[in-house]
Structure 1
């Protein structure tokens, strides 16, 4: 039996006063983030909003990289979202990481490949995973550190991209430990030279600082 048409008048329809602004912000967020799967991303967006979590929204639209030969899924903007959502936990449960990854419409195979680079048994230590993700973006150790600085910095875009020396040293040491070609002595020498160089800068490391040390080391 067909459902009869129901007529409503304006007085019968109640529109929550906050709905227009919610939908406006949602639309702007979707335009900035450009998710591959709008429905999946929308689930993550409203789930985060309902639970008071950081929203899966990029700060700005990312332009495609002309030199990139293939689309690897993960981008600097998406990794920055994940860092905002998960970094405060320190160690993240695998199901939660998988959920956040999926809500950003990232390929699960890429996540599995990153996790295989270390032995994450009792959860995923976030800063180690973050470092591995930066290496997936960068290709080389130097490029990986550049991505890390640009994501973690509080400096304005286009600035020095400074981060605390201890944070830099942790990421650099961890990634270097996975590279058999980097000797421990060379790593220690580089970090000591870098620490000495930034001592007068309250131990904040910028991209120019470690690039200079790298050239002179």
Structure 2
């Protein structure tokens, strides 16, 4: 980059680095900003995941490749119809499928789960790194047990989409309400069920 005496040289990537840092700081709200900043930039320099909460904290999908829809379906079947499951019991199920421990810990941390885990929230966060649309598609497949345009209750989709959007941190609550209102008024029939194609192949529906 060429600079004159009257100009200040700005590194090409500095703007993007500062934008990401500012967004992460606002999202995390650290009590000790200086220490958190030191930890943040150390992690970035080392290529590690920075200490950022919720929507900004993401892991590459490559590290989640072992968590296939088929394994999620097995987990769901083992949980049964329970809405709440004990963390130790779920950890044992996870281990029995030879899934990486750090993935389990990551989902627990992002969801702020303790001893009692809301299963649908855990399931949603387990799919989270692949994006909202693909996550909801996999959840429909897992919950319905059907891979050919599966259907689930619209109320379940409402719950999952709202929760995923909240954790994503980049989808406004007003946008979520607009999408759900459209689906409820224009798409959902008397049976109260929604198909995957209703939100993946409809040009009027933009989840992200």
Alpha-carbon separation, structure 1, partners of 2:164 and 2:99: 23
Shift of 1:216: 9.8
Using the size of structure 1 for normalisation, the TM-score is: 0.62
Is the Cα contact below 8 Å between 2:199 and 2:205 reproduced in 1? yes
Aligned to 2:121: 128
Partner residue of 1:163 out of 152, 157, 174: 152
Q: Do structure 1's residue 185 and structure 2's residue 174 form an aligned pair?
A: yes
Give the 3-state SS of the residue equivalent to 2:150 in structure 1: coil
The 5 A counterparts of 1:38-117 are 72-117=65-110
Using the size of structure 2 for normalisation, the TM-score is: 0.64
**RMSD over aligned Cα atoms:** 2.2
Aligned to 2:112: 119
List runs of 5+ in structure 2 lacking aligned partners: 1-60
Alignment size in residue pairs: 146
Q: Which string of whole-angstrom CA distances, capped at 9 and with x for unpartnered residues, describes residues 3-49 of structure 1?
A: xxxxxxxxxxxxxxxxxxxxxxxxxxxxxxxxxxxxxxxxxxxxxxx
Give the 3-state SS of the residue equivalent to 1:163 in structure 2: strand
Is the Cα contact below 8 Å between 2:151 and 2:194 reproduced in 1? yes
Aligned to 2:196: 207
Is the Cα contact below 8 Å between 1:154 and 1:162 reproduced in 2? no
Alpha-carbon separation, structure 1, partners of 2:207 and 2:95: 42
Aligned to 2:32: none
Shift of 1:154: 4.9
Is the Cα contact below 8 Å between 1:197 and 1:209 reproduced in 2? no
Partner residue of 1:197 out of 183, 186, 191: 186
Alpha-carbon separation, structure 2, partners of 1:169 and 1:140: 17
List runs of 5+ in structure 1 lacking aligned partners: 1-67
Name which one, 1 or 2, has greater alpha-carbon Rg.
1
Q: Which string of whole-angstrom CA distances, capped at 9 and with x for unpartnered residues, describes residues 54-113 of structure 1?
A: xxxxxxxxxxxxxx8566321100100111111423211111011100000111111001
The 5 A counterparts of 1:127-146 are 127-136=120-129, 139-146=130-137
Alpha-carbon separation, structure 2, partners of 1:185 and 1:107: 36
Alpha-carbon separation, structure 1, partners of 2:189 and 2:84: 33
